[in-house]
Amino acid sequence: MSLSEKPSEDEEHVHEKQQAAEHAVAYVTSGMLVGLGAGSTALLATRLIGQWLQEGRLHDIVGFPCSSAIEAEARALGIPLTLDPASPVDLTIDGADEVDPALNLIKGGGGALLHEKIVAQASLREIIIVDESKLSPALGTHWPLPVEVIPFGWHSQRRFLESLGARVAVRQQPDGTPFKTDQGNLILDCAFGPIRQPAALAARLDARAGIVEHGLFIGLATEVIVAGADGVRHLTPQPTDVEAAGKAC
């Protein structure tokens, strides 16, 4: 291959995402209730599920979409859907904006964090698919934390988040108007820098009236599939020192 034929970085990036999606969809079996994550990488998985249904490789699949955009995409692909499943979700495939060594996540770059967390918490298995650029030594190092707030009194939430050390920006549409979630809420993107105690921060945000949800997904990922130049890696949470000591007893 000549230099002129060498794939661009963007093409390689898309190829890595496709690899991760294919690896994750291989765990989907017929008869499953599947959470359909939002975001560009998870969208590839949804499209592959639709393709396999059309080809007959899968059947009796029901999807639980994490956003209105994914719902529309899945319906166009012919994937049967539910918006209120009566049973636990067998498997969810979703993406992430940042992943720390403990497989905690920052999500919400696409604005669907509330629905994504509802689906994740309803799932027996949460597979996160990312490329290597999303791995981070600490959450917040590379990505601001999205915080979804109701419009009523939202300036008080901004002041609260700033008191916790965040630089806060109201997420906007390309035309400069405020971004609205599927529930009609605002998103405040909060640059904390590296978050040393994400669980403690999550608890502070959970306790605040007016904050609907935040993008800290603590202990929800059962596994993370990472695609890179050297292939695909499958990561699972490692036991803490305390858990390891208990199992050794």
pLDDT per residue over 197-226, tens digit each?
A: 999 999 999 999 999 999 999 999 999 999
Across 177-195, average pLDDT: 98
Instruction: Looking at the structure, give the CATH architecture of the domain made up of residues 3-133+218-228.
Output: 3-Layer(aba) Sandwich (3.40)
Question: For the structural domain made of 145-211, what CATH number should be given?
Answer: 3.30.70.260
**Position 127 confidence tier, pLDDT thresholds 50, 70, 90:** very high
Across 10-29, average pLDDT: 87
Residues involved in catalysis: 116
Residue 50 CB contacts under 8 Å (≥ 6 apart), including other chains: 74, 77, 78, 79
Residue 246 has pLDDT above 50, yes or no: no
**Position 243 confidence tier, pLDDT thresholds 50, 70, 90:** very low
Query: H or E segment at 138?
Result: none
In the chain, list all ranges with CATH 3.40.50.1360: 3-133+218-228
Residue 37 has pLDDT above 80, yes or no: yes
Pairing status of strand 216-217 against strand 105-106: antiparallel
In the chain, list all ranges with CATH 3.30.70.260: 145-211
Residue 3 has pLDDT above 80, yes or no: no
* The pLDDT value given to residue 40: 87
* The pLDDT value given to residue 6: 44
Task: Calculate what percentage of the chain has a pLDDT beyond 90.
Answer: 85
More confident residue, 171 or 10: 171
The two three-digit tokens of residue 115, written as one number: 């629905």
